Amino acid sequence: MYFLNYDYDCKQRIGVLNNSKNAVIPLKEFFLKEGIKELNSINVLIQTMNEENINKLEDFVDGYEGKTLPLDEVKILAPIPFPIRDIICLGLNYLDHANEITNMPGAEKNIPKFPVYFNKRAMPAIGNGDLIDSHPTLTNELDYEVELAVVIGKDGENIKKEEVEDFIFGYTIVNDISARDIQRNHTQWFKGKSLTTHCSMGPYIVHKNSMRFPVELNIETKVNGEIRQKSNTRNFIFDIPTIISDLSKGMPLLAGDIIITGTPAGVGLGFNPPRFLESGDIVECSIEKIGTLTNKVK
Ligand code: MG
């Protein structure tokens, strides 16, 4: 199932795609049928829907004959515009990207032996079709990073590797937009990763039941139609069971937490000379089975 957060008739609502993936089924009717108070936030939905409800929703979608909204008549918003906490990020989690960064002049050759974690302030996240603010007075080195985002589905601590899938709600795409000069100047990544509009997310959260686990998905970025990043999530240095099991040791993960799993080679910083984003550029981040997240730089 493909969950989305959308604007229709100037109202924000949540829905799922029909099985042909060309129209939205509003969830209001399902909530009424099941006696669930109408939910307008995917965060609350994640916290509310147990496995039984998800199965009922799958049946509801399969048998749905009511009114749908054509996809081109709704404005798709970030599926989680207000993450419950900062997004947890992985750095250097694809070998080719770790090599492109650590082979740069002055960098230390250092392929991580433990996952590299940092956080990204992401309130609010932008969605498909929204503009990326280039913050021209703050940065000259605006960059893109396509990433598979994992959305946690239930609270957990000390999660065993073999139980990790139980704690996942689903998957989406995040463009971890980055101001490289700010990252460098502060010798720490938080601020350079956290300017407004620099977390683009969507277009959908694909429920884990629609994905084979562990996920092996093609992942790609195009800038103005030119392929810059191209890989597959099977090339992670640390896979999702390792990341979630390791992160949750002595540090609870909560339903709605978002973990972005790192980016492959081909970021603007990795080119010689670097190819940073400029005003007017169109960035398309795609992941197989999820979709394409497109944003223009203002
Ligand atoms: Mg990143």
Residue 188 shares a structural domain with residue 54 = no
From ligand 1's centre to the CA of 255, what distance in Å?
21
Please give the mean pLDDT across all residues of the chain: 95
Query: What is the pLDDT confidence band of residue 102, given thresholds at 50, 70 and 90?
Result: confident
pLDDT of 98 > 90? The answer is: no
From ligand 1's centre to the CA of 110, what distance in Å?
17
Q: Name every residue whose Cβ is closer than 8 Å to that of residue 1 and which is 6 or more positions away in sequence.
A: 16, 17, 54, 57, 58, 61, 206, 207, 209, 210
pLDDT of 110 > 80? The answer is: no
pLDDT of 217 > 90? The answer is: yes
Q: Are 229 and 132 in contact (CB under 8 A)?
A: no
From ligand 1's centre to the CA of 184, what distance in Å?
14
From ligand 1's centre to the CA of 207, what distance in Å?
22
Per residue in 155-172, pLDDT tens? 999 999 999 999 999 999
From ligand 1's centre to the CA of 10, what distance in Å?
33
pLDDT at 104: 77
From ligand 1's centre to the CA of 99, what distance in Å?
15
From ligand 1's centre to the CA of 182, what distance in Å?
14
From ligand 1's centre to the CA of 235, what distance in Å?
15
Per residue in 230-240, pLDDT tens? 999 999 999 99
Residue 100 shares a structural domain with residue 161 = yes
Residue 286 shares a structural domain with residue 183 = yes
pLDDT of 39 > 90? The answer is: no
Residue 41 shares a structural domain with residue 99 = no
Residue 101 shares a structural domain with residue 46 = no
pTM of the model: 0.97
Lowest mean pLDDT among 9-23, 25-39, 105-119, 178-192: 105-119
pLDDT of 107 > 80? The answer is: no
Residue 13 shares a structural domain with residue 107 = no
Which comes out higher in pLDDT, residue 256 or 105?
256
When pLDDT is averaged across residues 162-186 and rounded to a whole number, the result is 97
Phi, psi of 137 (to 5 degrees): -85, -10
Q: Does residue 43 sit within a domain?
A: yes
Residue 280 shares a structural domain with residue 140 = yes
Instruction: Provide the percentage of residues in the chain whose pLDDT is more than 90.
Output: 89
When pLDDT is averaged across residues 248-274 and rounded to a whole number, the result is 97
pLDDT at 101: 80
pLDDT of 147 > 90? The answer is: yes
Residue 231 shares a structural domain with residue 121 = yes
Residue 54 shares a structural domain with residue 94 = no
Give the whole-angstrom CA distance, residue 61 versus residue 64.
Answer: 5
Structure token pair of residue 167: 């704690």
pLDDT at 56: 96
**Domain region containing 192:** 87-297
Q: What is the CATH number of the domain that holds 283?
A: 3.90.850.10
Residue 124 shares a structural domain with residue 207 = yes
Burial profile 154-191: b = 16 or more Cβ within 10 angstroms, e = fewer:
bebeebeeeebbebbbbbbbbbbbbbbbbbeeeeebee
From ligand 1's centre to the CA of 20, what distance in Å?
32
Residue 138 shares a structural domain with residue 262 = yes
pLDDT of 128 > 80? The answer is: yes
Indicate the residue among 51, 77, 103 that finishes a domain.
77
Q: Does residue 230 sit within a domain?
A: yes
pLDDT at 3: 98
pLDDT at 185: 96
From ligand 1's centre to the CA of 148, what distance in Å?
10
pLDDT at 231: 97
When pLDDT is averaged across residues 132-145 and rounded to a whole number, the result is 98
Give the whole-angstrom CA distance, residue 295 versus residue 224.
Answer: 11
From ligand 1's centre to the CA of 176, what distance in Å?
5
When pLDDT is averaged across residues 179-205 and rounded to a whole number, the result is 96
pLDDT of 53 > 90? The answer is: yes
Q: Does residue 66 sit within a domain?
A: yes
From ligand 1's centre to the CA of 158, what distance in Å?
25
Structure token pair of residue 67: 């009114």
Question: Which class for 68: exposed (0-12), middle (13-18), buried (19 or more C-beta within 10 A)?
Answer: middle
Residue 114 shares a structural domain with residue 65 = no
Domain count, the chain: 2
pLDDT at 40: 87
